[in-house]
Amino acid sequence: MTEAVTRLLYIDDDPALRRLVERRLRNGGYVVTQAADGHEGLQLAATATFDVVAVDHHMPGMDGMETLTALRALPDCPPIVYVTGADDGRLAVAALRAGADDYVVKTVGEDFIELLQTAFAQALDRVRLRKAKERAEQDLIASNERLAALLREVNHRVANNLQMTMSFIGMQASVLPEGEARNALLASQQRIGAIAQVNRHLYATGNVESVAMDDYLPGLARDLADTWSTPAAPRRVIAHADAVELQTDQAVTLGIIICELVANSCKYAYPSDASGDIRVFLQRMDEDGGMLLTVEDDGLGLCSSPTIKGTGLGQKLVKAMARGLGTVPQIDPDHKGLRVTIQFKLR
């Protein structure tokens, strides 16, 4: 197996020093190309490929700083080690600021060659590390993009499957007469719809961690109004949410609660031959993440006998889901119809 060689461009107006550097570094795995001044070095760097470049400071015509600046302007410029006979800290700082990767002071004897080799090795190591980091970042970005695309596709398929399930349930409900069986199927349809709305949102936005409630609630309200309205008894579901994002699981929980409360109002708040409004509000209460959900109607209310209508499953679901949010639903006794409020904290 052939050992890798390091291609060095050495730019210096001292021919003896150039020959010395080439002779000493040849045995260390370097292929050295010499340039007598900045103009020649710049031309070589623009037409050939080098792993590292050394630039002397004192050169006639085009000095080291000018050469360094011109080299740095080339595309894919290799690392540059700046060389000078003056041990001047200000010059070193100026060279590093201009783009040099390292700085070596000329000395008499083998020390200079060893310092050069060390500077070259360190500069090449930094380049390898930087390129490895860039490749790792590019691989990570590509991996994240693939995962995001896969997750969007999963959410899209889940939303489609849920929508198909809702359609099947709706078809089954449509052939049943008015009554508890039909209402139970419609309620199940809307519970699934609350989850489907979240998945549609995840697919549309690509944000799998949270759901924008000011976008989610109006769509859910439209679905609920379409489900529970009839020509004889239209139901208008009005929804408003502050611009707040909930974690996905919280959004699903809240959506199911809203489905149950709105369905209850649609079925029992108003006469079967009259129209009625149901309002849903989600408000931020404070800067510490306190939230208030309100679902209300102007219907019959609980009257004097707050007995459970229907199977009572909806109320059980509301209480169970509210416990998942760390809270319990509250009924406003002073409201004309029925007003249920739920206070909870954003995670």
Domains and CATH numbers, the chain: 6-138 (3.40.50.2300), 209-345 (3.30.565.10)
> Number of C-alpha atoms within 13 angstroms, CB side, residue 128?
7
Both tokens assigned to 224: 């609920």
pLDDT at residue 78, as a whole number = 93
pLDDT at residue 286, as a whole number = 86
- Regions of the chain short of the pLDDT cut 50: 1, 304-308
pLDDT at residue 202, as a whole number = 67
Both tokens assigned to 49: 């490929």
Phi-psi region of 303 (alpha: psi -120 to 50; beta: other; left: phi over 0): left
Residue 22 to residues 43, 48, 85, 113, Cα–Cα distance (Å): 20, 18, 18, 10
pLDDT at residue 4, as a whole number = 72
Rounded Cα distance between 258 and 217, Å, is 9
pLDDT at residue 305, as a whole number = 41
pLDDT at residue 200, as a whole number = 73
pLDDT at residue 72, as a whole number = 93
Query: Is this prediction's pTM over 0.85?
Result: no
* E runs forming strands in 109-202: none
pLDDT at residue 113, as a whole number = 87
pLDDT at residue 306, as a whole number = 44
